Amino acid sequence: MHAYVIRRLGQSVFVLIAIALLVFVAIYAIGDPVSTLAPQDATTAELEGVRQRLGLDRPIYVQFFLFLSNAAQGDLGRSFVYGEPALKLVLERFPATLELALLAAFLAVTIGVPLGVYAGLRPDSLGGRGIMVGSIFGFSLPSFWQGLMLILIFAIVLRWVPAGGRGDPGMLLGLQSALFSLDGLRHLLLPAVNLSLFKVALLIRVARAATREVALQDYIVFARAKGLSRTRIVWVHILKNIMIPVITVLGLELGSLIAFAIVTETVFAYPGMGKLLIDSISQLDRPVIVAYLMVTVVVFVLINLLADLAYAAIDPRVRLAGGGKSA
């Protein structure tokens, strides 16, 4: 198990460096930030001063080398706009985005999996077919427009929840989070629903396909032959087996939840790191863009690692093959 974790970590570091190079090359190509930062009527000398202060006058390979060695020490440069360390800016916004993504993932599982299991158990029923058409519809709703419609209906017409922003955080067990206060949850609900809808549609499909496969297995026939109740068969025998593909997919998708939070945060004016990225792109604030991408990639890598470990925890065949206790 340890060897497995170490090997996975090694792969992760490799991915990180590859992404760092790509990110740096891509971002370097983005227009000239000096022209946006300096005043409209700045002289050439003044522009040159800004350029020097930001280190943009040096050759690109020097900039990359500096970037790598600084990055290794956790220094991803200062924001051109705010003058603060870029990493700090991004990390300050990270909890807000994480709250959003976690609540969305929770909603996706609690809504998507039961619907998918139902559709898988009764694929030819009206309900089963309806759920599948609904999931195609869910795939087809562009999330930004769906967010606008949520705002229109629930915040503007019905006035049930606020249209945007982030609520006051609450405290639980020494952790501060907007998930722990009523105000925080009220603000989070619409964005989280918005972000989760696509994943609900996805999990419906995954859970349905897995359920249909598992339901045909001999061990389900045998479980019925034992006289188990339908509830027990569905909630223990089927659900525990379909959790393997569900967790695999969820692990892959949690990263994309954080990426798609860019859209949700923009729609709901939610102060997460996705909104920061969009603002930074429009202001050509390179260090912040790079810091965002690096943080995101690290999170991706961590999530994949956790998903693999969770996978091992739920599937005894994987867990025990990993060299743990054996019979």
Residues that bind other proteins (CB under 8 A): 15, 18, 23, 26-27, 29-31, 124, 133, 136-137, 139-145, 148-149, 151-152, 156, 163, 217-219, 221-230, 232, 236-237, 240-241, 244, 252, 255-256, 259-260, 262-263, 266-267, 277-278, 281-282, 289, 293, 296, 300, 314-317, 320, 326-327
CA distance 246 to 240: 10
Backbone φ and ψ for 84, nearest 5 degrees, come out as -105, 160
CA distance 193 to 180: 17
Q: Which of 108, 128, 109 is nearest to 120 (CA)?
A: 128
Least distance to other proteins, CB of residue 155, Å: 9
CB-nearer residue toward other proteins: 97 or 181: 97
Least distance to other proteins, CB of residue 117, Å: 16
The total of other beta-carbon atoms located within 10 Å of residue 59's CB is: 8
CB-nearer residue toward other proteins: 177 or 309: 309
CA distance 213 to 188: 36
Least distance to other proteins, CB of residue 242, Å: 10
CB-nearer residue toward other proteins: 112 or 255: 255
CB-nearer residue toward other proteins: 2 or 226: 226
Least distance to other proteins, CB of residue 99, Å: 19
CB-nearer residue toward other proteins: 104 or 267: 267
User: 3-class SS at 78?
Assistant: strand
CA distance 306 to 127: 35
* Beta-sheet strands, E only, within the chain: 170-172, 175-177
